[in-house]
Structure 1
Amino acid sequence: MDLSRTRVLSVSLVSALSALALVSGCSSSGSASGGSGEGTTQAAPAAANDLQDDYQKVIKDVLPSVVQIDAADSLGSGVVYDDKGHIVTNAHVVGDEKRFKVTTATGEQALSAELVAAYPEQDLAVIKLGEVPGGLKAAKFGDSAKAEVGQIVLAMGSPLGLSSSVTQGIVSAVGRTVSEGRSGGGTGATIANMVQTSAAINPGNSGGALVDLDGQVIGIPTLAATDPDMGDSAAPGIGFAIPSSMVKTVADQIIKDGKVTDSGRAALDITGRTVLGDDYRPAGVAVVEAPKDGAAAEAGIEAGDIITRVGDEEITTVNSLSEVLASAKPGQKVQVTYVRDGNEKTADVTLGEM
């Protein structure tokens, strides 16, 4: 097993995440009311057994829908999307490849698959099996909007090439906006509304399933955090999954039209680069190009202008601009602050669509 060929993306933590106070959802009738010790010791094993049964049921139901994807230079995971052989995964898993070998949880022989389309802007892709084996089971995709902090989740995939592996954790946070790097084969995408989880995400988990205890996929594990203060080593217990709502939106369009026709993502319609201030720190985004029919140009923004703020959010880098836009919607009107010839100006921009 060549573990060097597995791939996972990392996101650097540039600021401390807020501490979360977690409270157990279970209660013991004897813990605070003076109940007998016998009742307490009986209740605890029963509750543990019930939770174990839940884990095992979910794994039995969902794991057959999680596959291993072998590309030319990487190894990742995927989730069976429908009974026609469509499989959803990360765009960084498929890379520039068009053909793949897919191994199901129950199959001994690798199956051939081809790329339907990739959407790097959201780091998602759909591939399709050449022949659909009997008994192939599509996963059930849930509503990621209902994910709650503290909710138990399981991550399923092929970390380090170890197919059909399962880790457990909780939903640590929701609504995260994360930018992934381009190093290690990343797409450079900025993704909004990601689900943060403490379930271990290792190389090869990318494209797999983040599942709740109802057996529904609520996200596609994509990123593992790294700590720049520790030499970009892994930050244990901090991973991110693309929400299932976005997965369904993108996959449905790719399967129907062969591409994403309605991204739902806002765009300023510029080409930009990060500029440095007098202190050599990032100080804004210089507009390199603003097409005349784009959102920025129609609001009077030109090449050479330096964008420093969108709404109330300070803009210092291209990444910070992408993160603000990732949380906006096409057609939304925002105030953009920019500098032209040393003078600060503002423009009301009706955002376009990526």
Structure 2
Amino acid sequence: MLAPGAVAVLTALALAGCSSGSSSSSSSSSVSTAAAGAPSAGPSSPGQPGGPNQLQDAYQRVIKDVLPSVVQITTPTGLGSGIVYDDKGDIVTNAHVVGSATAFTVTLANSSKPLDATLVAGYPDSDLAVIRLSNPPGGLKPAAFGDSTQVELGQITLAMGSPLGLSSSVTQGIVSATGRTVSEPTTGGSPGATLGNMVQTSAAINPGNSGGALVNLDGRVIGINTLAATEPEASGAAAPGIGFAIPASTVTSIADQLIKDGKVTNSGRAALGITARTYFDQDFRPAGAAVVAVAAGGPAASAGIQPGDVITRIGDTQVTSLNSLTTALASLAPGGKATVGYTRDGRSMTAEVTLGTLETP
């Protein structure tokens, strides 16, 4: 469902979910871009066609190969997209496409016949969910997922899905950046997910594209289309060429757990092992994240952080609220080390923390 999105750089983001949702804006931050180095494909690779006709041929070849794996998902409140994950009828999509629904109608790219599907499980913290066809037809074509570490700036991308209900649509662009951290909007009174390591693309992503495939010219899914930018000064008008996709490595990790266990047991997200709230200074301005509780034996406890401390910095990133703390942690990995700046009884202090893994309910 089209829910509004977060701010990255100077623009607002809109969830590119079901085409019947509403639009608004909120704020978040972006982190630095980090492109992974990958060997270039050889001259005969579809990723490096040698001329205009060869490029067109590569586009058509990839579309023919991958589009049958991209489906349209209809919910009681709108529609979105999904990707066939296996031949058992599992389909991966965004959690915000699923919403609170448990039953869905799915339309395959090569058919007009609606198919029933039910929810397997969702994980809103990473905005991912899996649904399953009740009676999977023969000939289902699971998509091939790529290696997120091989995504490079400038690679050609194709975004596939059902923007504005136009099923089996394809747009093209490039990888504009990697390693982005974005925050989704507050919906229903609950804060949106903060998503790290996102792939930024110039391929057009519109309402209804959420849950669809971002594909490279090797025919591999490198991400799930999730967010599109809007311009807050233009009453939420689209900001062309700024879209974001959840990287394939996150998608496969979370989807595998949802299918196997019905829940996520390893989020892959960094955590301090604390419960916190936004701290307000004497002028009632947000000025940090106040530690309410510390998990015994957790990363923060091991580093000497205590309830009552106010976290003001993670590495070089200033922390002014609980949301900014979450955003800072989303760009880090479990097992890594981070210098945490905090105040205790008015005194500035620092601690070197070995980050843990975000626990899941």
TM-score by length of 1: 0.84
In 2: Cα distance, 1:92 partner to 1:281 partner:
31
1:48 matched to which residue of 2? 52
Secondary structure of the corresponding residue to residue 76 of structure 2: coil
2:136 matched to which residue of 1? 132
1:39 matched to which residue of 2? none
In 1: Cα distance, 2:265 partner to 2:132 partner:
19
2:273 matched to which residue of 1? 269
Secondary structure of the corresponding residue to residue 183 of structure 1: coil
Instruction: Give the paired residue count.
Output: 324
For structure 1, the 5+ residue unaligned runs are 1-5, 20-24, 26-45
Change beyond 3 A, Cα 1:279–1:51: farther
Contact 1:11/1:224 (8 A) holds in 2: no
Contact 1:12/1:232 (8 A) holds in 2: no
Secondary structure of the corresponding residue to residue 252 of structure 1: helix
Change beyond 3 A, Cα 1:15–1:164: same
2:179 matched to which residue of 1? 175
2:212 matched to which residue of 1? 208
Code of the aligned partner of 1:83: D
2:83 matched to which residue of 1? 79
Superposed, 1:286-305 pairs within 5 Å as 286-305=290-309
Q: Post-superposition shift, 1:155? A: 0.4
In 2: Cα distance, 1:273 partner to 1:233 partner:
33
Is the counterpart of residue 343 in structure 1 residue 323 in structure 2?
no
Code of the aligned partner of 1:135: G
Question: Any idea what the Cα deviations from partners look like across 1:1-43, whole Å, max 9, x if unmatched?
Answer: xxxxx52552323448899xxxxx9xxxxxxxxxxxxxxxxxx
Is the counterpart of residue 323 in structure 1 residue 327 in structure 2?
yes
Is the counterpart of residue 150 in structure 1 residue 154 in structure 2?
yes
Superposed, 1:18-37 pairs within 5 Å as none
TM-score by length of 2: 0.83
In 2: Cα distance, 1:273 partner to 1:330 partner:
22
Contact 1:121/1:187 (8 A) holds in 2: no
Change beyond 3 A, Cα 1:47–1:347: closer
Is the counterpart of residue 97 in structure 1 residue 92 in structure 2?
no
Runs of 4+ in 1 over 6 A off after TM superposition: 16-19, 184-187
Change beyond 3 A, Cα 1:115–1:335: same
Stretch of structure 1 that moved more, 204-213 or 246-255: 246-255
Change beyond 3 A, Cα 1:213–1:8: farther
In 2: Cα distance, 1:61 partner to 1:126 partner:
22
Structure with greater helix share of residues: 1
In 2: Cα distance, 1:150 partner to 1:77 partner:
25
1:10 matched to which residue of 2? 5
Code of the aligned partner of 1:141: F
In 1: Cα distance, 2:278 partner to 2:191 partner:
18
For structure 2, the 5+ residue unaligned runs are 12-29, 34-39, 41-49
Contact 2:214/2:245 (8 A) holds in 1: yes
Greater relative CO (CA pairs within 8 A, separation 6+):
2
In 2: Cα distance, 1:187 partner to 1:105 partner:
33
Change beyond 3 A, Cα 1:102–1:85: same
Q: Post-superposition shift, 1:186? A: 8.2
Question: Any idea what the Cα deviations from partners look like across 1:200-225, whole Å, max 9, x if unmatched?
Answer: 11111000000111111111000112
Contact 1:122/1:190 (8 A) holds in 2: yes
Q: Post-superposition shift, 1:352? A: 2.2
Contact 1:86/1:128 (8 A) holds in 2: yes
1:259 to 251, 256, 263: 263
2:27 matched to which residue of 1? none
The Cα RMSD (Å) is 2.4
1:28 matched to which residue of 2? none
In 2: Cα distance, 1:285 partner to 1:257 partner:
33
